Structures are given as C-alpha cells and as structure tokens.
Structure 1
Amino acid sequence: MKSKKMIIGLMMLVTLLANGVVMADVNDYGAVGAMTDEAYTLEEMLVYAIQDEYLARGEYESIMEKFDVQRPFSNIIKSEETHISLLVPLFEQYGFEIPTDTSEDHLIIPDTITETYAIGVEAEENNIEMYATFLQQDLPEEVRDVFERLLASSENHLSAFENGLSRSTQGFGRRGK
C-alpha cells in the first residue's frame, strides 16, 4: 500500500517537473543555488542556508493565503522561523552580513494544492541534499550542529509533504485537487 502511494507521488512529481512547475525560480538562491557550486566557503554555506529558510517560509505563507489551508504549512513555518533564528547567530559570530530576505522575488506558487505538496517534496529533498553536502565539509562544531539539526528537520518536513501528497492524490486533500 505504501509503495503504491510512493509510486503515485513520484508520478505526480515527474509530471509536474516535466511541465516546468516550480515554487522557486531556478537561480543562484537557496538550496538550488547551492547545488550549482562545487566548493563552498563558510559564508557561502550560511548564505545558501538562510536563503533557503527564507524561501520556504515565504512559500508556505503564500500557499496558506492562496489555498486557505493551515497544516502542514503553519507548523513548518514555525520551524522555518526557528531555523532562521539558529542561523543568525552564526552570521554574527563569524562577522558575516546577514542577507536581506529577498525570497519574495523568487516565489512562484503553483495552481493547485496537490502541486504544492509535490513541489514541497522536491524542495525538502533539495534542502536535505544541500545540508548533507555542507556536512561533508570541514566545519566548526557549532555550524555542524546547526546544519545537522536543519537536515533532521527537513527530513520531518519531507514526511509531512509526502503524506499531504498521498492524501491529496487519493482525493482526501483540500482544495485544488
């Protein structure tokens, strides 16, 4: 049963990706931007990380407004706020400028709630990949600890989006099936 749900979810994701539906512009911003680099300075890793957290928060706020939904987005927004609050002191500790939140310039919200779940899955997978890549670097212990926490949180968010996608594709989702 679970494998059938995963297959349905993957089919939806492939369809959406083939049609070019994305939540964030593909550019040098957040996790997508991080994956275009091969080597990172500490500052670059922190910038990509906070950009991705800004982007997630902005996307989920926009989704909640557009589709008049709360969960799982409201819970995940709280997590994104926590993630940002974990990153800010690292910028301060290392004397790096905290980037301005320009995530609004990078938002593209899909037309249906089902698409948002599918894109949420992709976004969290990208986020997990970004943090896993960063954790392969030589990092100060406090930075490593924060990245490990953020990676674990993204794994939880991924589960929430997979569950939402499964419910939505089976006709149990809210609006915009």
Structure 2
Amino acid sequence: MNRWVLLGIIIFLSLSPYSVYAENWMPDHYGSNGGLADDNLTIEKVLHYAIQDEYLAQARYDAIHKKFGQVIPFVQIKKVEQQHIHALLHLSDLYNISPPENNAADFTPPPTTLRQAFQASVQAEIDNINMYEKFISDEGLPQELRNTMNDIAKASRIHISTLKRGADNYYP
C-alpha cells in the first residue's frame, strides 16, 4: 500500500469521532455488545452482560484517569458505576449466579485524546442504555431485576448529559 494512502487513513481515523477505541476491541459476546446481540436471554446471561458492561465502564474510567489524571466528570461517574456493579453483584448473589470474571481491562486500552475519551464514553453509555432497555422489555425477567436495570439506565442518561457538559467545558 502506498505510504501516503496509509498515512491518510491513519490521520482520518485519528481525527474521526468514531476512531478506534476500547469497545472496538471488545468481543461480540461481551457486555452491551453481547446483550444487544443475544436473542436467547436467561437471567444468568442478562446479569453477566450487565455486570460485564459495568466492569467495562470502570475499566474505561480507570484508563482515562491513568492517562489524563482525575478529570471531572469521569471521577464522579466512576463512583456511580461502582454502585451499579454492587447492585448487580447483589442480584447475582440473590439468584445464586456466579458473576463473570472482571477482565474488562483487557478490552479497554487508554484513549488517545481527552476528546476521544468523552466521545467513547458517551457512546458506551448509549449502548448501555439500549442494552438495559432490551432487558427491561423482557416481561419474563423478574421485576426486581427490571427495576434495578431501569434505575441503572436512568443513571446512564444522566451520565450522557454530564459527559456532554464536560466535553463542552474542555472543547467549547
């Protein structure tokens, strides 16, 4: 391949709002990717996908903190994500389901830029909401699971507006 074409592709990807970032390296069966693609859901699968997705959020914010320091609003959102994990782990215990391994850091390289961190985080929250809305619509799921997932989806909507405001502060 011509080196100028290759250089052009690299520049395009690095400037694109959809540039390669952590979730692009995530397996199709993991987190919100898995939850959205799976049409044969069980309580165990729903909890696994949900916990994995919350693990991904924690890993993403850890990678951002490691690269850029304690950037607001990532610091606050990370604390809320930990509460989501605790709520989902409690449900796993309640239903006697072993939680999935937390290997989310394997799928979460650090973002290249802070702008990319904001963009990827907003997209991840959108995917998270879509996954939870799919789970909530399953009337076969116990109401306690649906209630908890509805609460987490509401928090994710708040995260999106918080992340957008944060991005506006860095990129007015």
User: Under a length normalisation based on structure 1, what TM-score does the superposition of the two structures give?
Assistant: 0.82
1-structure distance, mates of 2:66, 2:60: 10
RMSD (Å), alpha carbons: 1.5
- CA pair 55-133 structure 1, distance change in 2 beyond 3 A: same
Q: CA deviation at 1:119?
A: 0.6
Asked whether the 8 Å contact 1:60–1:77 carries over to 2, the reply is yes
2-structure distance, mates of 1:122, 1:39: 25
Structure 2 distance, partners of 1:129, 1:95, is 26
Distance 1:54 1:107 in 2: 10
User: 2:170 maps to what in 1?
Assistant: 168
Q: Which residue is 1:26 aligned to?
A: 26
Gaps of 5+ in 1: 1-13, 171-177
Q: 2-side partners of 1:112 and 1:22: how far apart?
A: 10
Query: 2:99 matched to 1:98?
Result: yes
CA deviation map 1:58-106 (0-9, x unaligned): 1101101201233111111110110011011211111111112111111
8 Å contact from structure 2 (residues 63, 109) kept in 1:
no
- Deviating runs (4+, > 4 A) in structure 1? none
Aligned identity (percent) is 33
Tell me by how many angstroms 1:44 deviates.
0.6
- Size of the aligned set, in residue pairs, is 155
Quote the offset at 1:166 in angstroms.
Answer: 2.6
* Aligned AA (2:26): V
The within-5 A match list for 1:69-148 is 69-138=70-139, 139-148=141-150
Take 2:148 and 2:171, find their aligned partners in 1: how far apart are those partners? 34
The offset of 1:108, in angstroms, is: 2.1
* Conserved? CA contact 1:61–1:73, under 8 Å: no
Q: For residues 128-170 of structure 1, give each alpha carbon's deviation from its aligned partner in whole angstroms, at most 9, with x where no partner exists.
A: 0000010110221111111011000100111111112233332
Letter in 2 for 1:155: R
> Based on CA coordinates, which of the two structures has the bigger radius of gyration?
2
Q: What are structure 2's unaligned runs of at least 5 residues? A: 1-14
1:59 maps to amino acid: R
